[in-house]
Structure 1
Amino acid sequence: MKKYTRKKISCLLVLLLSSGFLTACNTNMKKDVVTEAKEFAMGTVISQKVYGENGQVAIDEAIDRIKYLEGLLTFNAREGDIYNINENAGKKKVELNPITLKLMTKAQQVAELSDGAFDITIGPLVKSWGIGTENERVPAPEEIHNLLPLINYKDLEVDNHTAYLKNPGQMVDLGGIAKGYAGDEVIEIYKKNGIKSAFINLGGNVVTLGSKPDGSPWTVGILNPRKEDAAEGHQILGSITVRNKAVVTAGDGERYFVKDGKRYHHIIDPHTGYPAQSDLMSVTLITDSSFNADALDTAVFILGSEKGMDLLQKYGGIEAIFITTDKKIYVTDGLKGNFKLLEGSSSYQLID
């Protein structure tokens, strides 16, 4: 089995840090004091860049908050809400933190809108495949067949205080939405500390505050979803510019393994039990809230470009970049003239 070791890096999206993309004014003003940090949490490398005299305070508070959310919301945190609800599947309702209930309520809304393409009861299949862990494998067809009846968002009951999984063996996994919520939380921490210019990258969830100190927008780079095929030095496919936006990507280019010549990525289709096979290699959503985008990008990736676009139109207020398996790039109307295909990306075609 051939393994790929980029699992702790961002999914398909990075904020470009080269001098040509993120630069600050060379002044001595306090607002231009820059603080940077990297930390591993929520299964990924988290990068922050904050301008302002309270930058270090804001960064420290942000990491503390992220680690709190990780303990509350992630799959294997024994003291957290998700572990508790999974342990009590088919037994009883579980009192949950309001944050957990907020995420579950949002997840259920996206599940309804997407006809179950996004489904947080995907947990048993995620655990079986183990993609991104030391135990990644291809489950036997009969194992997948036996697990599929456990995957049904309608079996998750959520009210104002509790959640309940109807059947033993069912498991919630908030991996497709938790980072989005965390990103918005961090922006609020920045604001509370008087920060007006910053960004955070939570492994493919990039959230920007304001613009760069010189007033220019942030430039966000879109990674080539087939970086192993890219020419040296051309892993960045294109870029967009944003202010006060979240740029969130789902795709098959980072967390995957190859066995017997076949590629298996981490986004599991709840209807088949196997990694999703649509016409997309990646989808990037641009919106005001990373929380709003994080579940939707997974659903769109699974549905494919046509049905995915229909879903985004139902939701409203979101721009998108689609990269298809035949290496064509489609952007929504609000991004036309903004997305730039970089030199060295000649194998891709930007469709007007």
Structure 2
Amino acid sequence: MRFIMRHLKLLLTILLVVIIVSGVTLFNPLNEKSASKTDFMLSTVISIKAYGGNAEKAIDAAMDRIQEIEDTMSAYTKGSDIWNLNHSKPNTAVKIGDNTFQVVKRGLYYSQLTGGNFDISIKPLGDLWAIGSEKPKVPEESEIQQAINKIGYEKIQLNEDEHSVKLLQEGSGIDLGGIAKGYAADEVIRVLKNHGIKSAYADLGGNVIVLGKKKISLMQYIRAAIKGDKQSMQTDWRIGIQNPAEGRGILMAVINVSDKAIVTSGPYERNFKKDGKIYHHILNPFTGYPASSGLISATIIAENSMDADALSTSLFLLGEEKGLQLIESQPGIEAMTINQYKQVRTTKGLKGKIEIIDDEYKLQ
């Protein structure tokens, strides 16, 4: 009896572990089913993980929705809304789908908000550089100037009543690459919710969005159960911020979030080297060249991914000072920047919430 009393806590812990592992407990989130799937769409790798009895079906539906978005909004898919618009005659009203219209409208909002730094009419310049294709090139100055002359969000005209769009200049075109992926991430969450999913994670090529909280590990569950801490049965998602100087999967910081979108823009994902110089895909519509704002990474944390997507590109283009001023003026939006000297700055709402895990980077 003395032995039992002396080691009662240990015996209870062992018993608890046995009960959890055997699945007998009445409250055991570890028994909840989960599913995950990875595919290649929107010119990037898409990964979704969801928890719940309906997880597999929900993910399949979410993947189908992403494909629908690509089929209707890609500038390079023949027959899509945007392809049809870009191949129409100037000053011709082209009716597009309601969802595409709303994304174009939101894209124009951010084009105006940023004074044209973020501009959905960037397509002529993107086609010229062809970064991300098999044959990227550094264009001639005359070619760049010709492309710049075709760019300008004011050359796009919307008709709210008809849900139609006009391109007012010959050779102009729309590319929703800086915002449609964010819209797709938001749609993933909407579809998952409609299937009863309350906890999920989706990564659309750097556009990360999380639903609810993350299920804890077995050992975390055991420790919480011993303490009787039911609030610790779930935890915020721990999202990593990529080290812009290293390859994919190498992190420089982490942030804990739930029900948020986290989008990072940088020069490291799509680029090419010519004569020893690296050219990246985030093009400045005023200079015609890859953006050179002093930033090497720009991250946005927001309630939805469409806004985060557009604003992360905007922040990267505007640079540290002007970009952070813009984000501070947007309710519910937070940001983190990394400049060329590996100095990290954040908006006021992120103070104390970013954990730097690489000593080369210094929080200012």
Task: Confirm or deny a common fold (TM above 0.5).
Answer: yes
Letter in 1 for 2:188: V
Letter in 1 for 2:363: L
User: Which structure has greater helix proportion?
Assistant: 2
User: Is residue 328–residue 348 contact of structure 1 (8 Å, CA) maintained in 2?
Assistant: yes
Shift in Å, 1:346? 2.3
For residue 294 of structure 1, give the secondary structure of its aligned residue in structure 2: helix
1:117 aligns with 2:117: yes
Shift in Å, 1:146? 1.2
1:348 aligns with 2:342: no
Identity %: 41
Identify the residue that residue 208 of structure 1 maps to in structure 2. 210
Unaligned stretches of 5+ in structure 2?
1-19, 216-232
Identify the residue that residue 192 of structure 2 maps to in structure 1. 190
1:53 aligns with 2:87: no
Correspondent of 1:239 among 254, 271, 280: 254
1:333 aligns with 2:348: yes
Shift in Å, 1:71? 0.6
Higher relative contact order structure (alpha carbons within 8 Å, sequence separation ≥ 6): 1
The 1:169/1:303 distance shift into structure 2, 3 A limit, reads: same
1:62 aligns with 2:81: no
Aligned-partner Cα distance in 2 for 1:46–1:147:
32
Identify the residue that residue 290 of structure 1 maps to in structure 2. 305
The 1:285/1:89 distance shift into structure 2, 3 A limit, reads: farther
User: Is residue 324–residue 347 contact of structure 2 (8 Å, CA) maintained in 1?
Assistant: no
For residue 169 of structure 1, give the secondary structure of its aligned residue in structure 2: coil
1:218 aligns with 2:237: yes
- If you compute each CA radius of gyration, which structure gives the higher value, 1 or 2? 2
Correspondence 1:142-157 to 2 at 5 A: 142-157=142-157
Aligned-partner Cα distance in 2 for 1:89–1:239:
48
The 1:90/1:279 distance shift into structure 2, 3 A limit, reads: same
Identify the residue that residue 269 of structure 1 maps to in structure 2. 284
User: Is residue 31–residue 51 contact of structure 1 (8 Å, CA) maintained in 2?
Assistant: no
Unaligned stretches of 5+ in structure 1?
1-24
Q: Kindly provide the CA deviation profile for residues 27-79 of structure 1, in whole angstroms up to 9, marking residues without a partner as x.
A: 66587211011000001000111011100111000000000000100111111
Shift in Å, 1:292? 1.4
Shift in Å, 1:313? 2.6
Letter in 1 for 2:361: Y
User: Is residue 335–residue 347 contact of structure 2 (8 Å, CA) maintained in 1?
Assistant: yes
Q: Kindly provide the CA deviation profile for residues 274-305 of structure 1, in whole angstroms up to 9, marking residues without a partner as x.
A: 10000111111001111111111111110101
Letter in 1 for 2:110: V
User: Is residue 212–residue 258 contact of structure 2 (8 Å, CA) maintained in 1?
Assistant: yes
Letter in 2 for 1:309: L
Letter in 2 for 1:284: T
What is the TM-score with the length of structure 1 in the denominator?
0.88
Large movers: runs of 4+ above 2 Å: 25-32, 313-316
The 1:234/1:189 distance shift into structure 2, 3 A limit, reads: closer
The count of aligned residue pairs is 321
Greater Cα shift, 292-301 or 203-212: 292-301
Identify the residue that residue 43 of structure 2 maps to in structure 1. 43
Identify the residue that residue 13 of structure 1 maps to in structure 2. none
Correspondent of 1:306 among 302, 321, 338: 321
Shift in Å, 1:127? 0.8
